A and B are shown apart, each in its own frame.
Chain A
Amino acid sequence: MSIDLKTIKHISKLARISVDEKSAEKLAGDLNSIFDFIEKLNELKTDNVEPLTSIAETTLKLRSDEVKSKNIREQIIKNSPQDNEDYFVVPKVIE
């Protein structure tokens, strides 16, 4: 298995992380050595194994549908890098 630069560019697009040429090469090298290590799993036959999706073997508890935290807009936007008091502000997205 080999992850090439084109794949790195594709993944970085999906992950929304900009990657320049130099770090793309480094990432390709690192990811290839990590995936070489991960490939070991192919030794195992798992056709009839149920995947483990949750380790907590309990069903989710139901609760009544109540609003517990009201009027916390101020708290929510308190940490935003840019806001206009009521809303988050982002670079313009529509022309």
Chain B
Amino acid sequence: MSDITKQSLTKLVENIRNKKLSSTDVTKAFIDRSKKSENLNAYITNDFTSALDKAKKFDQKPNLDLKLPGIPIAVKDLFCTKDIKTTAGSKILNNFIPTYESTVTENIWNEGAILLGKLNCDEFAMGSSNETSFFGNVQNPIDRNLVPGGSSGGSASAVAGQLTPVTIGTDTGGSIRQPASFTGIVGLKPTYGSCSRYGIVAFASSLDQAGPMAQNVKDCALLHEVISSYDPKDSTSIDFKRNHYSKELTNNIKGKKIGIPKEYRVDGMPKEIEDLWQKGIQYIKDCGAETIDISLPNTSYALPTYYIVAPAEASSNLARYDGVKYGFRAKGENLIDMYEKTRSEGFGAEVQRRIMIGTYVLSSGYYDAYYLKAQKVRKLIKNDFDEAYKKVDAILTPSTPSSAFKIGEKTNDPVSMYLNDIFTVPANLAGLPGISIPAGHDSKGYPLGLQIIGKAFDEQNILNIAYAMEEKINFKNKITDWWIK
């Protein structure tokens, strides 16, 4: 049984279609391993009993034409799932049971997949280490007491630890790509507007995107093909012609021009990251593509811009948690007192911090100096990419400025935690797709990722580049099962 969980999504689909495996076999195997993996704390809520029922039902009348026939999948606990508790990693939603389904998860179930459970994440997706979750830290399968990254930390841990064949996360400033890099897996943040935001607990609405996380590029392409759809229920969903990303996947990237932005060579970046980047450049050349030095002059302003725009939107989005309509309510002497105590007791420290920043930058007298300024700089950052894409087809950078760090190492210094997202934030600000692929190990044996940023709606191209590079890199994740009981 144990070898089932080692198989890629593509292989599992093939085995179910060829009747070598049943959905029940596969679902049982992932439930088994998930149960033995409690030490990772990857799940907030499991749905194992009904998953098994659904698998049995699928096997009685299997529809093998579906793209994810009877495949069990656990998802980040930021996606509303009908009748299944959805917490966003927060105490304030600890008892919230959605009466509707998010479009992205609906798309997955419509293609035959089965919900395994809801995965741990930073509270309201605000964090880079999964340490802000109300439901505790998540362990990185790579090593003991190592963060899996965040905010999709439970998702990354569950894929790397083989508790789910693939998963979906969300990425507002790097929340798919950074944890993918920290755990040695593949993670794609699609173009803004590619995946519907309907039914996803909102953090920063102009930046949030859902995306696939997988063990390899092909699985990632297949899942992306399923989740990306035009949705009238999301007013920023974009109606464009979507590719058959998995079918059209090719490792032929001959003649492609890949930009290498000099501004990503930041002060204090470890030599290991620089070496990895150089290796990546060599792999690109080995694939027959060309690399071109480019400049994205406003890169160093991306993170400060993000820390105005994202908290501003968050402070507005999270105003809905008032102890009246849903979620946790604290006792108060009057209505205002009830609001204030509910939000003070219901939100964790990082969420409160960001609401305070957001409230401040939007408050009277400060709006122009901060929020308007940030929107203008955001325009400059987008212009940088527009300029660069006149010369190149995609851009190659490291995914993160370091490998995974220890739990507790950065919790007392918010700015040093924020710096984790220095390479991932620009793509969110400009609405562009970005993919992180595992590309090597550091001296401690921890995985390191490379990021490919594409033009808007050009997911196929960055998937192809990632696919070609993956073959050359031939990365093997070092998973020892140290956490298994």
Taking Cβ atoms with an 8 Å cutoff, the residues of A that contact B are 3, 7-8, 11-12, 14-19, 27, 30-31, 33-34, 37-44, 46, 49-56, 58, 60-61, 63, 72, 75-76, 78-82, 88, 90-93
* Min CB–CB distance B369 → chain A (angstroms): 9
Interface residues as binary, B383-416 with A (CB distance below 8 Å gives 1, 0 otherwise): 0000000000000000000000000000001110
State whether the Cβ of B10 lies closer than 8 Å to any Cβ in chain A. no
User: Hey, which chain A residues are within 8 Å of B352, CB to CB?
Assistant: 17, 27
B209 to chain A, nearest CB (A): 10
Cβ–Cβ < 8 Å partners of B298 in chain A: 44
In the complex the two chains form, is B414's CB within 8 Å of A34's CB? yes
Q: B308 near A38 (CB under 8 angstroms)?
A: yes
A-B contact pairs, 23 of them (CB 8 A): A3-B360, A11-B363, A16-B336, A17-B340, A17-B356, A18-B337, A19-B344, A31-B360, A34-B418, A37-B418, A38-B370, A40-B301, A41-B304, A41-B377, A51-B378, A52-B379, A55-B206, A55-B431, A58-B238, A80-B325, A81-B324, A81-B326, A92-B334
CB distance A11 to B356 under 8 Å? yes
Which residue of chain B has the shortest Cβ distance to A47 in the bound complex? B376
Task: Give Cα A27 to B333, complex, Å.
Answer: 25
Contact of A93 among B238, B304, B335, B378 (CB under 8 A): B335
- How far apart sit A79 and B99, CA to CA, in the bound complex (Å)? 9
Is the Cβ of A53 less than 8 Å from the Cβ of B375?
A: yes
Q: How many B residues are at the interface, by size bracket?
A: 35 or more
Which residues in A have their C-beta under 8 angstroms from that of B335?
90-93
Residues of B within 8 A of A75 (CB): 99-100
- Note all chain A residues with C-beta closer than 8 A to B254: none
* Contacting residue for A81 out of B192, B328, B334, CB 8 A: B328
Determine the chain A residues whose CB is within 8 A of the CB of B377 once the complex forms: 41, 44, 46, 49
Contact of B182 with A by CB under 8 A: no
- Contact between B97 and A78, CB atoms less than 8 A apart: yes
Task: Given A14-B363, A79-B325, check contact A91 B372 (CB 8 Å).
Answer: no
Tell me, rounded to whole Å, the shortest Cβ–Cβ distance linking A11 to chain B.
5
B327 within 8 A of A: yes
In chain B, positions 292-350 with a C-beta closer than 8 Å to chain A are 298, 300-301, 303-305, 307-308, 315, 319, 322-329, 332-341, 343-344, 347
Contact A38 B307 (CB under 8 A): yes
Do A91 and B304 touch across chains, with their CB atoms under 8 A apart?
no
The 3 closest A-B CB pairs, nearest first, are: A51-B375, A79-B326, A55-B431
Interface residues of B (CB under 8 A from A): 95-97, 99-100, 192-193, 206, 232, 235-236, 238-239, 298, 300-301, 303-305, 307-308, 315, 319, 322-329, 332-341, 343-344, 347, 352-353, 355-357, 359-360, 363, 370, 372-380, 382, 413-415, 418, 429-431
* Chain B: minimal CB distance from A55 (Å): 4
Q: Is the CB of B96 within 8 A of A30?
A: no
CB of B301 within 8 A of CB of A44, answer: yes
Other-chain contact of B344, A18, A54, A76 (Cβ < 8 Å): A18
Give the residues in chain A near B235, CB-CB below 8 Å: 60-61
Within the complex, what minimum Cβ distance (angstroms) separates B354 from chain A? Answer: 9
Which B residues are in CB contact (< 8 Å) with A60? 235
Partner of A55, one of B329, B343, B430: B430
Other than the given A15-B359, A37-B303, 6 more pairs (CB < 8 A) read: A27-B352, A38-B304, A79-B99, A80-B325, A91-B333, A92-B334
Which chain B residues border A15 with CB–CB below 8 Å?
A: 315, 343, 355-356, 359
